[in-house]
Amino acid sequence: MSSIPLDKMSWPDTLGHEPRLEEDFQDFKAGLNEIEAETEANRCIHCYEAPCIQACPTAINIPQFIGRIGSGNTLGAAKTILESNILGHSCALSCPTEVLCEGACVYHHLNHKPIMIGRLQRFAVEHAYKTGAKFFVPGEPTGKRVALIGAGPASLACAHELRRLGHEATVYEKSALPGGLNSYGIAPYKMKTGVSLVEIEQIATLGVQFKFGEELGRTFQLSELVDSYNAVFLGLGLGPDSHPPIPGDDHPRVRGAVEFISQLKTLPSASLNWVRELRSALVVGGGNTALDACRELKGLGIPSVRVSYRRGQAEMSGYLHEFKSALQEGVEFHFNTVPVSFTSRTENSIQVEFSQTRITHDGSITVVPTGSFVEVELVLFATGQSNFSKSKNLFAEIPGLEFDRGKLKIDPNTGQTGNPKIFSGGDLTNGGKEVVNAVSDGKRAAHGIHEVLIHG
Ligand code: SF4
């Protein structure tokens, strides 16, 4: 799908036509051809109460779509997928299938390789997009208008479902492109920005309106949308990279991992020539963003890539299969270490001082100076992103919005917040999960909104 020319898209021409560094990356899981797909599909034994469906947050009818591929009905397979998950292409490429659908496949119990569900899903949806198939139409107009803040996966899924139910949907997005994490944040060896944009075109064709360059609290206030729309969906996701302050962290080569990934994906490679010249880099963190970042740096050909994590390997929140892949690709892991200072050696290199960490019996961490130093040319912090719980001004004068440990509180069945006109889902409410979780949340909220608008 990345071969579709960007100039065929209707989105603002912001991504441009110049080469981008993300194009240097090969897909880490190659697509299947027709014979491979049919052969693989015919291995599925169509389990009763299929565990793969139960493991999918969007409950795609996996045996049904696989059966359709096996019988040559690839468009029917794509319809089954997209009916449950309109971002089924990006989920096929970015989902941790090893721990979701494929992780639950009964073949594990038979000591056989699980069905390649993600790759079959990709095969079906790519076939549908190539043929230009359209599966959905807008519902009968209801005259109700819904504003959605943020154009990430949760809002996109919500807007798509709202249009199918006949409501108007207008998405307010501060960036120049839609997609949020899908367009700006997914590791390029998993999915490229152009793929995300093609997928969102399918949603836009249902009549979803997009307003770009619109930032909550800067160009508009929440109260204005609450006053002028019948309902509002908050799909803000997470804020910028964050890390604890460390002396010297204002060096220009000390950056946030999410910001760096977004630059690889969207900036012309000519403006990132310095990245191609890097010889060494350090990633700080032990989650999936850290694993994505270190694998990307290796993928760019940087000879020395280290990861520093303050706890042990067993405590890493990143997926084990991603950790193993990073090890195989030559990333060095330094557990129970933290950087404690950065000293500028030159404009392009930094001396990093490390300390050892010890976990005390109550689980807290103490830091023991060791006086060890490493010189690197780039430091990426992948230690989390800020959330909006402290941005009280964003939600000023709106009653009913409450946060619990950084997450916006919602009704788990409808996505409704404490304010009856405001709904939410995705990272703002779950603290940061997968794209597929955001899609599930967005769909749930659309039905919650529909219930209030039509029957409330
Ligand atoms: Fe097919 Fe595996 Fe799902 Fe069973 S669990 S229906 S074999 S994909």
Pair (60, 94) in one structural domain: yes
Q: Is the CB of 291 under 6 A from ligand 1?
A: no
State whether 270 and 345 are in the same domain: yes
375 plus 399 within the same structural domain: no
| CATH code, domain with 225 | 3.50.50.60
Name the domain count of the chain: 3
Cα of 81 vs centre of ligand 1, distance in Å, is 15
Is 314 within a domain?
Answer: yes
Q: How far apart are CA 294 and CA 279, in angstroms?
A: 13
Instruction: Give the pLDDT of residue 307.
Output: 98
User: Is 267 near ligand 1, meaning CB less than 6 Å away?
Assistant: no
Shortest-distance atom of ligand 1 to CA 43: 7
Among 84, 109, 131, the domain-final residue is 131
Residue 422 counted as domain residue: yes
Ligand 1 centre and the CA of 212: distance in Å?
41
Given the CA of residue 51, which atom of ligand 1 is nearest to it?
5
User: What pLDDT, on a 0 to 100 scale, did the predictor assign at position 456?
Assistant: 76
- Which residue owns the Cα nearest ligand 1 atom 7? 44
Query: For ligand 1, is residue 96 a contact (CB within 6 Å)?
Result: no
In a domain, 178, yes or no: yes
Mutational pocket test of ligand 1: of 115, 116, 121, the residue with most ligand atoms within 8 Å of the beta carbon: 115
CATH number at residue 57: 1.10.1060.10
Last residue of a domain, one of 355, 381, 407: 381
Whether residue 349 is found in the same domain as residue 445? no
CA distances from 438 to 153, 203, 235, 246, 369 (A): 6, 16, 9, 33, 41
261 and 164 share one domain: no
User: Is 148 touching ligand 1 by the criterion CB < 6 Å?
Assistant: no
Q: What is the whole-number distance in angstroms between the Cα of residue 56 and the centre of ligand 1?
A: 12
Q: Return the best residue to mutate from 40, 43, 44 for the ligand 1 pocket (most ligand atoms within 8 A of CB).
A: 44
Residues 374 and 307 in one domain: yes
Q: 211-216: which pairs have CB atoms within 8 A and are 24 or more residues apart?
A: 211/170, 211/171, 211/172, 211/173, 212/12, 212/173, 212/175, 212/176, 212/177, 212/178, 213/173, 213/174, 213/176, 214/172, 214/173, 214/174, 215/174, 216/149, 216/172, 216/174, 216/394
Please report the pLDDT score of residue 435 as a whole number: 96
pLDDT tens, N- to C-terminus, the chain (456 residues) = 333 344 445 565 667 778 888 888 888 788 999 999 999 999 999 999 999 999 999 999 999 999 999 999 999 999 999 999 999 999 999 999 999 999 999 999 999 999 999 999 999 999 999 999 999 999 999 999 999 999 999 999 999 999 999 999 999 999 999 999 999 999 999 999 989 998 998 899 999 999 999 999 999 999 999 999 999 999 999 888 889 899 999 999 999 999 999 999 998 888 899 999 999 999 999 999 999 999 999 999 999 999 999 999 999 999 999 999 999 999 999 999 999 999 998 888 999 999 999 988 887 888 888 889 999 999 999 998 988 877 767 886 789 999 998 899 999 999 999 999 999 999 999 999 999 999 999 999 999 999 999 987
Residue 2 belongs to a domain: no
Let me know whether 75 and 57 are in one domain: yes
Question: 53, 54, 66, 108: which to mutate for ligand 1, most atoms within 8 A of CB?
Answer: 66
Residue 35, in any domain of the structure: yes
**Domain of residue 57, residue span:** 31-131
Same domain, 369 and 258: yes
Does residue 318 lie in a domain region?
yes
**Co-location of 355 and 434 in the same domain:** no
Q: Could you give the angle at the alpha carbon of 451 between the alpha carbons of 450 and 455, nearest 5°?
A: 115
* Cα atoms found within 13 Å of the Cα of residue 59, Cβ hemisphere only: 5
Name the residue with the closest Cα to ligand 1, atom 5. Answer: 105
Residue 348 has phi, psi (to 5 degrees) of -110, 5
Give, using CA atoms, the residue closest to atom 2 of ligand 1: 105
The answer to the question of residue 18 being in a domain is no
44 lines ligand 1 (CB under 6 A): yes
The answer to whether the CB of 43 is under 6 A from ligand 1 is no
**Ligand 1 atom at minimum distance from 46 CA:** 6
- Does the beta carbon of 69 lie inside 6 Å of ligand 1? no
pTM for the structure as a whole: 0.92
Q: Domain for residue 54, yes or no? A: yes
Kindly give the distance from the C-alpha atom of residue 404 to the centroid of ligand 1, in angstroms, as a whole number: 37
- Cα three-residue angle 405-410-411, rounded to 5 degrees: 135
State whether 278 and 352 are in the same domain.
yes
Which of 381, 403, 433 delimits the end of a domain? 381
Residues 376 and 425 in one domain: no
Q: Are residues 342 and 415 in the same domain?
A: no
pLDDT at res. 363: 77
